Amino acid sequence: MRMGRTKIPKGEEFDVVIVGGGPAGLSAAIYTSRFLMKTLVVAEQIGGQLNLTDYVDDYPGLKKIQASALVRSFRSHAEMFRPRIVELVRVQGFERDKSAEYPRFRVWGTRGLNAYTKTIIMAVGSKRRKLGVPGEKEFAGKGVSYCSVCDAPFFRGAEAVAVVGGGDAAFEGALMLSGYARKVYLIHRRDQFRAKPFFVEEAKKRPNIDFVLNSVVTEIRGDTKVRGVVVKNKITGEAREIPVEGVFIEIGFEPPVDWFRNLGLETDDAGYIKVDEWMRTNIPGVFAAGDCTSMWRGFRQVITAAAMGAVAAYSAYNYLAEKGLYKPSRPGS
């Protein structure tokens, strides 16, 4: 199926171009294709944030599955409906095609991408901020996690884990992990927190949560998996290694806010694309889904991204129907 279906469009027209190949984008592709919309998925990498984790055990119907296997499952399910999927291509921009007799956009990108489309679904996700220290990349999915809510159950019975950060996500993660691990170290570069006071007070009440303040992680160590973190006190300069089995990095996300705004998309105060309950953006015909949106900030999950992708696809279909632009396309055409 994949062979022959990855040709980069150069002047071809689609009913919808989906930008992004994570759970939101592939879920959208399943639905737009089922609605018989001629569909193009453009992705730098299929899988999105799932590529940064090891196992998933919170997707309904799948008790525990390797993240890579879930990505393959999403893709094979989407390909069953024969959308066009192109990888290793980055969408650089889109604009209204003023020469067309009906509403449509021109989408362009790397490797010569040049396509026309009646609707667009933005599903580019957002990048989790990283520490940028030795060992972080090497142990990603082997003890290093960027989602406490997702991965805490895998550390049931662990002697100790570390959470890095001082915001709501870090404290929520520490509180959840305190029910799984015997000891939780909350490491923060300051002695003041951005988290809600409620979270801070609850964490202080937990006897197995230790605060490591005014400190930064300088290295993550291990063998086949994480065994410890090296932290440096910013005031005294003292460095020490703390034995842990997991490191949860909860220091926020980085949506490509400048790119969004240059495209004319309205964003919220944190740089995420503003959407309504039907995933509509401020630009008619452009929808957004998944981690790149303002929807459900603070609770980024595979299931919520997939749900948003389905809703965005339905909204794109309705948009075409209301504009009189809906013409069912033969699958794979």
- In the chain, the N- to C-terminal Cα span, in Å, equals 13
Backbone angles phi, psi at 33, to 5 degrees: -70, -35
The identity of residue 165, as a single letter, is: G
CA–CA gap between residue 120 and residue 18 (Å, rounded): 6
What residues are annotated to the active site? Answer: 147, 150-151
Taking alpha carbons only, the member of 132, 156, 130 closest to residue 248 is 130
